[in-house]
Amino acid sequence: MTLRIGVVGTGQMGRYHVERLAGGVPDAEVVAVSDVYVEGAKQVAEQVGARAYADGHELVADDQVEAVLIASPGFTHEEFTLACLAADKPVLCEKPLAPTIDACLRVLEAEAAKPRRLIQVGFMRRYDDGFRAMKAAVDEGGVGRPLLLHCRHRNPSVPPGFTSDMMITDSVVHDIDVTRWLLGQEIVAATVFKARPSSLAPEGLQDPQMVLLETADGVLVDVESFVTCQFGYDIRYELVAEAGTVALGEQPGVQVRHQGQHHGPIPADYKERFGAAYQRELEEWVSGVLRGEVVGPSAWDGYATTAVAEAAVESLTKGGRVAVELAERPALYA
Ligand code: ISE
């Protein structure tokens, strides 16, 4: 059985997903793509033998499309997820679910009225072997109750136009989701501290930032977001618990010791570091939809992450600690 998929957005992430879906995800077929830059959509469509649309709503309405992957800009995610809900079509929406709390709540309200979940949000770290092993170690309980979580989220560089706010809404959102997923708790406050900006960062970019998150049970999480670190894509976590620690990424890849030196690889970017996670995310989404279920990160996870990100941006902008107050969790996401 094959799942016929439409991909909205043929920019960098959309093309990345189309290549994976068409090139190696079992039981997946890309039958349509869309982009407001329709020439770009046509190029991608021709490569995989799909139809091309300028309007994502026409793609969602296409009766050959059974499921949708949204990889268009974040400000369009609300309209396209709502269109998929109206058409009763399962949808994998790249993060963020939507850029604002209000937009996320509108999507939640629409999905909560459905008999089953249709939305999955693209928090792909949950599909990474390292993060899954980290969660297994925490859940096994041998190290005791978590107390602190140290996160290092470093990019070597960012594209032109990347803003200080985007360091949170585009980058730190992954650490916010991992924190909620790893610890099984909501985040109740965010405080952002500004370091001395790197002289190698674009003019005006507040880089690095330290984001301090507080969870409902009192675990403190510090996230270093440094998006112009130059040396590579460096993701490192250390969870500190009552009787031990669980660490990830301290020495990525194979370490070579030779002639009194040791060295190892550092990924160049997030696609290299999380390529296998993106692959598993797509494989598990497709197989789940073919079984009639959507079990990955939910619209609630997308909403809660956007709520924390909004609080962090407010702290970045105005200073101080900003509390996070979530709406009541609908039964659909119990
Ligand atoms: C990018 O969009 C990602 O999703 C990467 O995981 C993150 O590290 C990067 O900072 C974002 O720009």
DSSP string, 97-114: S-SSHHHHHHHHHHHHTS
Mean pLDDT, rounded, for 201-226: 98
Mean pLDDT, rounded, for 152-167: 97
State yes or no: pLDDT of 173 exceeds 90: yes
CA 218, 104, 89, 57 dihedral sign is negative
Report residue 218 as tokens.
């009192």
User: Which residues belong to CATH 3.30.360.10 in the chain?
Assistant: 126-268+306-323
User: Which residues belong to CATH 3.40.50.720 in the chain?
Assistant: 3-124+276-298
State yes or no: pLDDT of 334 exceeds 90: no
Question: For residue 39, what pLDDT band results from cuts at 50, 70 and 90?
Answer: very high
Contact 316, 138 (CB under 8 A): no
pLDDT at 279: 98
Question: For residue 251, what pLDDT band results from cuts at 50, 70 and 90?
Answer: confident
Q: Indicate the CATH number of 126-268+306-323 among 1.10.8.80, 3.40.50.720, 3.30.1330.60, 3.30.360.10.
A: 3.30.360.10
Residues with CB under 6 A from ligand 1: 155, 170-171, 174, 270
Q: How far is CA 230 from CA 151, 155, 157, 201, 267, in A?
A: 18, 8, 6, 10, 12
Question: For residue 195, what pLDDT band results from cuts at 50, 70 and 90?
Answer: very high
3-124+276-298 CATH: 3.40.50.720
Closest by Cα among 162, 268, 281, 146 to 216: 146
Q: Using CA atoms, how far apart are residues 334 and 331, in angstroms rounded to an integer?
A: 5
Rounded distance from Cα 171 to ligand 1 centre (Å): 5
Q: Tokens 């059985």 correspond to what residue?
A: 1
Rounded distance from Cα 270 to ligand 1 centre (Å): 6
